[in-house]
Amino acid sequence: MYGTLNFKDDPTHVRLYSVNELKKVFEKNNCTVLACGIRRNYYYILAMPFRVIYSFIKTGKVTGNIFWDILGFAEYLKVKRNMQEQTNEPGI
């Protein structure tokens, strides 16, 4: 399908990381994971039929990115860095 992405399209891509792997990395580095999951934009999901028609009329093609939200193409993590613990010792 025209306009799709592939991991191998970019030679700097070395490996895929799961959400759980990234979550562990953040938690080990003094962060709190506030939310994580599959990215879904319900506006784009509802507008998908219109986007398909518009894309086909405008370019003669239907691009893959139109389907990303309904197929769960992207995952996300929302992370907050924890504040460093304060000490009462001067100079630290």
DSSP letters spanning 19-42 = HHHHHHHHHHTTEEEEEEEE---H
Q: What is the largest CA-CA distance in the chain?
A: 68
Quickly state the pLDDT bin for 73 (edges 50, 70, 90). confident
Amino acid (1-letter code) at residue 90: P
Kindly give the residue spans of alpha helices, DSSP state H, lying in 1-92: 19-28, 42-59, 68-71
Contact in structure between 2 and 61 (CB atoms under 8 Å): yes
Across residues 78-90, what is the average pLDDT?
A: 77
pTM exceeds cut of 0.85: no
Q: How high is the pLDDT of residue 64? A: 87
Q: Return the domain boundaries, the chain.
A: 16-81
- What is the per-residue pLDDT across 29-57, written as a single tens digit (0 to 9) for each? 999 999 999 999 999 999 999 999 999 99
Give percent of the chain with pLDDT exceeding 70. 88
